[in-house]
Homo-oligomer: A and B are copies of this chain.
Amino acid sequence: MKIAVLPGDGIGTEIVAEAVKVLKVLDLPFEMDEAKVGGAAYEAHGHPLPESTLALAKSADAILFGAVGDWKYDTLDRPLRPEQAILGLRKHLGLFANFRPALCYEQLTHASSLKPELVAGLDILIIRELTGDIYFGQPRGRRTAVDGHFPGAEEAFDTMRYSRPEIERIAHVAFQAARKRNKKVTSVDKANVLETFQFWKDVVTEVHKDYPDVALEHMYVDNAAMQLVRAPKKFDVVVTGNMFGDILSDEAAMLTGSIGMLPSASLNAENRGLYEPSHGSAPDIAGQGIANPLATILSAAMMLRFSLQQPEAADRIESAVRAVLAAGYRTVDIWSEGTQKVGTREMGDAVVAAI
């Protein structure tokens, strides 16, 4: 088994190093190969997703990804910007199913913006379609408007689209995930305005016939953004498109108050996947040794479970993280009075020790 390790930019290198340390101590039979991605790859090879990195990712059973991006690349042409690497990996590897758990750890409930009773025990799984929608739809670009409010004016445009099989496969993923949880799926759409999401709603409703044991509710995206704030614990599995999923998964992550703790997985049809923390590259704190490596370490656990068929090893990592939290270790982002502030490396060491 082969893991492609792509640390990326900003705090990426620091947090991935800790996850690699944790993986190594498990002493499992896999090889790890590292490559540059994002801004780091642009600096070294002139492209955020060089051929060699893409080839390594394609040949691997799983990818452990850090984060990409830095303000200093904001002025590059769009195809050269760091985030194109992550979009390219999703597209070229067909990583259509993004799992974004929003989990509130008991010891960190107070860190949430929300009142503790609203988030204590929160455990939502957002399943975001990741290779379709307006992210990749063609045509897109700039042109002269021929109709609309200002015919003749310069305009920019994008195409939102979903095909039946794209919706079917992500719906199956959601219903199957719900079966292992609380058997409830909320499908988020904007069927009252968009043709794409009326179709989405229709197809999800059809797929639901195969899962009579799972409850399905439909919710408009604007209402979902509200209900996540009002009563987040009412959700179990949320399934939605790429664009709405981008917004709602980040909103849900922030509700927990500890985005530094949240892993993610992006899987393709063969269960090969890319695993990365839900947070970004945080260039403002890069190199200071203070970033929280737990989201990345927990992403490695997801990788062991979903792509590498090592559920016991995944359990060991997750238990170790819980033990470390229980013992009071905290990086600065989750620190509070009465707990022990540690750096990135010490946190990784603590997890290794707990394993």
Residues of A within 8 A of B (CB): 78, 81, 83, 87, 94, 96, 113-115, 118, 131-132, 134-138, 140-142, 145, 147-150, 153-166, 190, 192-200, 221-223, 225-230, 243-244, 246-251, 253-255, 259
Contact = CB atoms under 8 A, between A and B. Distances in A.
Contacts of A223: 250
A141 B195 contact: yes
A133 to B, nearest CB: 10
A344 to B, nearest CB: 22
Contacts of A137: 148, 157
B149 A157 contact: no
Contact of A157 (B136, B148, B196, B255): B196
A247 B81 CA distance: 27
Contacts of A159: 157-160
A255 B114 CA distance: 10
B250 A226 contact: yes
Contacts of A83: 192-193
Contacts of A161: 145, 148, 155-158
B250 A199 contact: no
29 contacts: A83-B192, A94-B149, A113-B229, A132-B149, A134-B134, A134-B194, A137-B157, A138-B148, A148-B161, A148-B163, A149-B163, A154-B163, A155-B161, A155-B163, A156-B161, A157-B196, A158-B195, A160-B160, A221-B247, A222-B246, A222-B249, A223-B250, A225-B250, A225-B251, A225-B254, A229-B251, A229-B255, A230-B254, A247-B247
Number of chain copies forming the complex = 2
A196 B156 contact: yes
Contacts of A162: 155-157
A206 to B, nearest CB: 12
B247 A225 contact: yes
A125 to B, nearest CB: 18
A234 to B, nearest CB: 12
A247 B224 CA distance: 9
Contacts of A87: 193
A145 B163 contact: yes
Nearest to A87: B193
Contacts of A115: 113-115
Given A153-B164, A222-B250, A230-B254, 6 more contacts: A87-B193, A96-B149, A138-B148, A148-B161, A158-B161, A226-B251
A83 B131 CA distance: 30
Contact of A195 (B142, B193, B229): B142
A341 to B, nearest CB: 21
A251 B160 CA distance: 23
